[in-house]
Amino acid sequence: MGNSITLKSAAEIEIMRQANQIVGDTLSMIGKKVRPGVTTWQLDRWAEEFSRARGSVPAFKGYRGFPGSLCVSLNEQVVHGIPSKKVVLKEGDIVSIDFGVKYKGFFGDAAVTVPVGEINSRKGDLVKVTREALYKGIKQAKAGNRINDISRAVQIHVEKNGFSIVRDYVGHGIGAALHEPPEIPNYSRKKRTPRLLAGMVLAIEPMVNIGTSDVRVLKDKWTVVTADRTASAHFEHSILITEGEAEILSRTSNPN
């Protein structure tokens, strides 16, 4: 891939719109299925069937050996949770669902965090602030700004609300590869970061914790959890940079 940020042609952008709409529609469908008693394996099956029926292929399945189509991460799990018949959603959980597809040679990628039934107010605030932080970042994502303008906006919103930013995992460019340059951290850096140009497609994805920003990887080699086991939330959109406001490619139909 090299280090340069690809600019997409009009035809490529149209395919990426379609790829990401499949992702957004899948997440909308899965969001409505979330309720106590459902296993994360069942969510994974529904997502794969739905997205394949739309002509796409799940992007995460087999990626570096990942076994599922969805990453499903509950409560203290940050990202990369493995769908399982043994993991049953229960009232009060929050579940982060990350999904990607490949469609006509291009990728779509997005994530939402969904409450299972009634959740406590602290978790409710976490989910709300994480979603808001994503949109603060998207607001800065326009031609002429720099990557760091996105990063800073996300960080400020999260930290002023008393939560912490995961630093070990970051957003990314997306296109003919699932992960393309540039990296998009959710915290500000002192170094000079790339300038945004119309035609770039970026996946912005804040991961936000109630407690420490430190994370660990479980023995399954995938599941990332908070070091102090407090809850974590994750939202992600793939967006197109334009001269004006970014176009969100992975829109969902629910408030997520």
Q: Confirm if 59 and 67 have CB atoms less than 8 A apart.
A: no
Give least dist CB 174 to Mg ion, A: 7
Q: Show contacts with Mg ion in window 119-138 (CB under 5 A).
A: none
The count of residues in the chain is 256
Q: Are 142 and 247 in contact (CB under 8 A)?
A: no
Under rule CB under 5 A, residue 109 binds Mg ion: yes
Binding-residue total with Mg ion (CB under 5 A): 2
* Shortest Å, Cβ 100 to Mg ion: 7
CB of 205 to Mg ion, least distance (A): 5
- Taking the complex as a whole, the smallest distance from the CB of residue 238 to Mg ion amounts, in Å, to 8
Give whichever of 186 and 209 is closer to Mg ion, judged by the CB atom.
186
Which residues partner with 70 through β-bridges? Answer: 99
Binding mask 169-208 for Mg ion (x = CB under 5 A): ----------------------------------x-----
69 CB burial (10 A radius; 0-12, 13-18, 19+)? buried
- Least Cβ distance, residue 209 to Mg ion (angstroms): 18
Q: Does 72 bind Mg ion (CB under 5 A)?
A: no
Backbone angles phi, psi at 15, to 5 degrees: -65, -40
Given the complex with Mg ion, which of 136 and 237 has the nearer CB atom? Answer: 237
- Which of 50, 235 has the CB closer to Mg ion? 235
Q: Which is nearer to Mg ion, 127 or 170 (CB)?
A: 170
Segment near Mg ion (CB under 5 A), from 11-19, 22-30, 60-68, 103-111?
103-111
Report how far residue 222's alpha carbon sits from residue 60's, in angstroms, rounded to the nearest whole number.
Answer: 12
Least distance from Mg ion to the Cβ atom of residue 128, Å? 21
User: By CB under 5 A, which span of 10-18, 73-81, 104-112, 126-134 interacts with Mg ion?
Assistant: 104-112
Query: Smallest distance from the beta carbon of 71 to Mg ion, in angstroms?
Result: 9
Nearer to Mg ion, 162 or 217 (CB): 217
Q: Footprint of Mg ion on this chain (CB under 5 A)?
A: 109, 203
